[in-house]
Structure 1
Amino acid sequence: MTSNSQTPATFKPSGPLAGKISVPGDKSISHRALIFSALAVGKSQITGLLEGEDVLATADALRAMGVKIDKKGDAWTVYGVGVGGLMQPTNALDMGNSGTSTRLLMGLIASHGISATFTGDASLSKRPMGRVIEPLSQMGADIRARETSDHKACLPLSVTGTCPAVPLEYRLPVASAQVKSAILLAGLNTPGITRIIEPVLTRDHSETMLKGFGADITVETNAEGSRVISLTGEAELMPQKIKVPGDPSSAAFLAVAALIVPGSDIIIENVGINPTRAGLYEILQQMGGDISFENDRTVGGEPVADIHIKHSALTGIDVPANIAPSMIDEFPILFVAAAIANGTTKTRGLHELRVKESDRLSQMAKGLELLGVELTEKEDGLIIEGSGGKPLSGGRTKHAMIESGLDHRIAMSFAVAGLATKSGLTIDDIAPVQTSFPGFSDLLTRLAS
Structure 2
Amino acid sequence: MAHPEPRPVTVHAAQRLAGRIRVPGDKSISHRSLMLSALAVGESRVEGLLEGEDVLATAAAMRAMGATIERGGDAIWRINGVGVGGLLQPQAALDMGNSGTSTRLLMGLVASHPITATFTGDASLSGRPMKRVIDPLSAMGADITASPGGRLPLMVRGLCPAVPIEYELPVTSAQVKSAVLLAGLNTPGITRVIEPVATRDHSERMLAGFGATITVEPGARGRIISITGEAELKPQTIVVPGDPSSAAFWMVAATIVPGSDVVIENVGLNSTRAGLVTALRLMGADIEELDPRTVGGEPVADLRVRHAALSGIEVPHDLAPSMIDEYPALFVAAAFAQGRTVARGADELRVKESDRIAVMKAALEANGVVTIEHEDGLSIDGTGGDPIPGGATVASSLDHRIAMGMVVAGLHAANPIAIDDASPVATSFPTFFDLLADLGGSVTWG
TM-score range, shorter chain: over 0.9
In structure 1, list runs of 5 or more residues that go unmatched: none
The question of 1:20 aligning with 2:20 is answered: yes
- Quote the residue 2:57 is aligned against: 57
The question of 1:181 aligning with 2:214 is answered: no
Which of the residues 364, 371, 374 maps onto 1:375? 371
1:2 to partner: Cα distance: 6.0
Whether the 8 Å CA contact 1:111–1:164 is kept in 2: the answer is: yes
- Quote the residue 2:76 is aligned against: 75
- Quote the residue 1:260 is aligned against: 256
Which of the residues 348, 352, 365 maps onto 2:348? 352
Which of the residues 254, 272, 275 maps onto 1:276? 272
Amino acid at match of 2:21: I
- Quote the residue 1:330 is aligned against: 326
SS in 2 for 1:155: strand
The question of 1:420 aligning with 2:415 is answered: no
- Quote the residue 2:146 is aligned against: 145
The question of 1:402 aligning with 2:399 is answered: no
Amino acid at match of 1:134: D
The question of 1:155 aligning with 2:146 is answered: no
**CA-to-aligned-CA distance 1:130-189 (integer Å, 9 cap, x gap):** 000000000000001001xxxx21000000000000001000111100000000110000
- Quote the residue 1:431 is aligned against: 423
- Quote the residue 2:444 is aligned against: none
**Higher alpha-carbon deviation: 2-11 or 267-276:** 2-11
Give the alignment of 1:379-394 within 5 angstroms: 379-394=375-390
In structure 2, list runs of 5 or more residues that go unmatched: 442-446
Amino acid at match of 1:121: D
Whether the 8 Å CA contact 2:164–2:184 is kept in 1: the answer is: yes
Amino acid at match of 2:31: H
Amino acid at match of 1:53: E
Whether the 8 Å CA contact 2:4–2:423 is kept in 1: the answer is: no
**CA-to-aligned-CA distance 1:359-413 (integer Å, 9 cap, x gap):** 000000000001110111111110100011111112xxxx210100000000000
The question of 1:307 aligning with 2:303 is answered: yes
Whole-Å separation in 2 of the counterparts to 1:3 and 1:128: 20
- Quote the residue 1:220 is aligned against: 217
Whether the 8 Å CA contact 1:339–1:386 is kept in 2: the answer is: yes
Whole-Å separation in 1 of the counterparts to 2:4 and 2:429: 18
Whole-Å separation in 2 of the counterparts to 1:436 and 1:179: 20
SS in 1 for 2:299: strand
**Higher alpha-carbon deviation: 27-36 or 3-12:** 3-12
Whole-Å separation in 2 of the counterparts to 1:393 and 1:271: 32
Whole-Å separation in 1 of the counterparts to 2:218 and 2:178: 18
Change (3 A) 1:197 1:40: same
Whole-Å separation in 2 of the counterparts to 1:164 and 1:200: 30
- Quote the residue 2:202 is aligned against: 205
Whole-Å separation in 1 of the counterparts to 2:343 and 2:17: 28
- Quote the residue 1:442 is aligned against: 434
Amino acid at match of 2:92: N
The question of 1:195 aligning with 2:192 is answered: yes
Whole-Å separation in 2 of the counterparts to 1:420 and 1:157: 43
Whole-Å separation in 1 of the counterparts to 2:288 and 2:112: 44
Whole-Å separation in 1 of the counterparts to 2:178 and 2:277: 25
1:445 to partner: Cα distance: 1.5
Whole-Å separation in 2 of the counterparts to 1:4 and 1:213: 36
- Quote the residue 1:113 is aligned against: 114
Whole-Å separation in 2 of the counterparts to 1:403 and 1:302: 35
- Quote the residue 2:134 is aligned against: 133
**CA-to-aligned-CA distance 1:299-354 (integer Å, 9 cap, x gap):** 11111110110000000100122211000000001000000100000011221101
The question of 1:48 aligning with 2:48 is answered: yes
Which of the residues 314, 326, 335 maps onto 1:318? 314
Whole-Å separation in 1 of the counterparts to 2:121 and 2:220: 41
Whole-Å separation in 2 of the counterparts to 1:223 and 1:178: 22
Whether the 8 Å CA contact 2:174–2:201 is kept in 1: the answer is: yes
The question of 1:90 aligning with 2:91 is answered: yes
SS in 2 for 1:276: coil
- Quote the residue 1:291 is aligned against: 287
Whole-Å separation in 2 of the counterparts to 1:300 and 1:2: 35
Whole-Å separation in 1 of the counterparts to 2:4 and 2:40: 36
Whether the 8 Å CA contact 1:2–1:431 is kept in 2: the answer is: no
Whole-Å separation in 2 of the counterparts to 1:416 and 1:402: 13
The question of 1:229 aligning with 2:225 is answered: yes
Amino acid at match of 1:133: I
Task: Provide the identity percentage.
Answer: 66
Whether the 8 Å CA contact 1:2–1:435 is kept in 2: the answer is: no
When normalised by structure 1's length, the TM-score is: 0.97
Amino acid at match of 1:320: P
Amino acid at match of 2:15: G
1:4 to partner: Cα distance: 3.5
Whole-Å separation in 2 of the counterparts to 1:3 and 1:375: 31
When normalised by structure 2's length, the TM-score is: 0.98
Amino acid at match of 2:4: N
